[in-house]
Amino acid sequence: MIIAVAAFLVAIGILVAVHEWGHYIVARLLGVGVVRYSIGFGKRLAGFTSKRTGTEYQIAALPLGGYVKLLDENDAPVADKDKPRAMNRAHPLRRIAIVAAGPGINFLFAIAAYWLVLIIGVGGIQPIVGAPSPNSLAAEANIQAHDRVVAVDGQSVDSWRGLKLKLIDHALDNDNSAVLTLQREGQTRHSTTLNLAHVPDDPEQLFDKLGLAPYQPPATPIVDHVVDDSPAAAGGLQSGDRIKALAGQAVDSPKALVQAIRARPGQTVAVKFERSNRTLTRDIKLGRQTAEQGGSSDVGHLGVAIGVDASALETMQTTRRMSPIAAVPAAVDKTWRLSALTVRMFGHMFTGQVSWDNIGGPIQIADYAGKTASVGFVAFVDFLALISLSLAVINLLPIPVLDGGHILYYLAEWIIGRPLGEATQALVQRVGVGALMALMVLAFYNDITRLLG
């Protein structure tokens, strides 16, 4: 939790500073006065005022955002000598440039972060497929365990994450099929068509429907954590136990163990495991819990978090590394593709094709920040890039209190030749605040629901 909170504060601090610096620097370049540059909201904790420009720079108590306060006659009286620098007197196109600079600098930050990640080397899991689920679309396409996906529709794939993004793209675009180029037994290449005509757009359900999952090399499941008051705790399992068999059935991977447990709800099974170089067996009565995705039958429940020796997974690891020059277009392309994917996801949420459960808030961001920071510098920078472009896309939504809403105001003013009426602005502002509050409540609700399992 300490790592998560610290990483969250660092991430938010960096991204807010970058976003607000975009507004700040373009305002300065276009001759608009800046009254205050603030990281955080509320009471000032630290800061100073520039004697040359009169701009106040501060860090405030609530670290969930920030703002740049511009010189504006609509907010407070402005001295006659400073009126030419007031935001309200700037041409609408200049105001649009100042407002758009925040999201714009977030996109540039994402490109720079992805560039850095690519030249250092980004790790991932090789796109090698485990045994497809029976009667799944992958099984119908004759995809087999150990097949390596090398391309989707002729575009190369070098990691499991890349494969997922390409198939999600297909689902959101309502494509009926995707042609996968497979490598089998290290040499033979052949193509197969994956039927996507009736798959859900929602990424949470897509891969269950496809029946695709990464191949898990043989590796003894190791108990990482035992849940309090669970069947595992009652049966005496402990952290570090290496599970060898369940109900007389050998298990050589976490997936095999999970499948064996889920198939035996409420049964008493013999669990064979190693502890301190001793082989032990305990009879444990498995619990019952409702199957996910609205399943009609219960599944078995043991109550442990499972891991494996890191060395057992080394064969599945891959690293993508590029030269500084080659990484530039690759970083731009990745930022563009992920931004477009984010926009399409929002669009499908509004049409009901993708669940609003995919929206995350500060708790989820803090969780991911802590996990990536624990993994290492490259993972954390990759996370910063993703959040930066998400922040850019969200701020460009046409909601009045966001940058996208202000851009719409100024566009309307430029087109009709005068500002919108005060009553119209007040009404639209209230609607925008309501929409933003609803989005925030939904994000917190989803975060809390995930925490409660």
User: How far does Cα 109 stand from its chain's mean position?
Assistant: 16
CA 411/CA 92 separation, integer angstroms: 7
CA 227/CA 298 separation, integer angstroms: 19
Does residue 199 share a domain with residue 101? Answer: no
Does this model's pTM top 0.85? My answer is: no
Instruction: State residue 114's pLDDT score.
Output: 93
CA 222/CA 254 separation, integer angstroms: 8
CA nearest neighbour of 279 among 270, 290, 292, 289: 270
Does residue 200 share a domain with residue 130? Answer: yes
Does residue 232 share a domain with residue 191? Answer: no
Return all residues near 407 (Cβ < 8 A) that are at least 6 apart. Answer: 96, 99, 100, 396, 398
For the CA atoms of 97, 98, 102, 106, the dihedral, rounded to the nearest 10 degrees, stands at 40
Residue 282 three-state SS: strand
Does residue 313 share a domain with residue 191? Answer: yes
Does residue 140 share a domain with residue 239? Answer: no
CA 306/CA 242 separation, integer angstroms: 10
Does residue 230 share a domain with residue 187? Answer: no
Instruction: State residue 119's pLDDT score.
Output: 93
Does residue 336 share a domain with residue 210? Answer: no
Instruction: Dump the DSSP string for 316-333.
Output: GEEEE---HHHHHHHHHH
Instruction: State residue 421's pLDDT score.
Output: 73
Residue 198 lies in a domain: yes
Does residue 226 share a domain with residue 374? Answer: no
Count of all residues that appear for the chain in the document: 453
Residue 266 lies in a domain: yes
Instruction: State residue 220's pLDDT score.
Output: 81
Residue 211 three-state SS: coil
Residue 37 lies in a domain: no
Contact 266, 289 (CB under 8 A): no
**138-178 residue pLDDT tens:** 888 888 888 888 888 888 888 888 888 888 887 777 777 88
Instruction: State residue 283's pLDDT score.
Output: 93
Residue 28 lies in a domain: no
- What is the count of structural domains for the chain? 3
- Within the chain, which residues score under 70 in pLDDT? 186, 188, 201-204, 291-296, 310, 312-313, 352-358, 360-368, 444, 446-447, 450-453
Does residue 431 share a domain with residue 341? Answer: yes
- Catalytic residue numbers read 20
Mapped to the 3 state alphabet, what secondary structure does 219-287 carry?
CCCEEEEECCCCHHHHCCCCCCCEEEEECCEECCCHHHHHHHHHCCCCCEEEEEEEECCEEEEEEEECE
Print the domain residue range for 174: 125-217+309-320
CA 14/CA 10 separation, integer angstroms: 6
* Angle (CA) 111 112 114, round 5°: 65
Residue 249 lies in a domain: yes
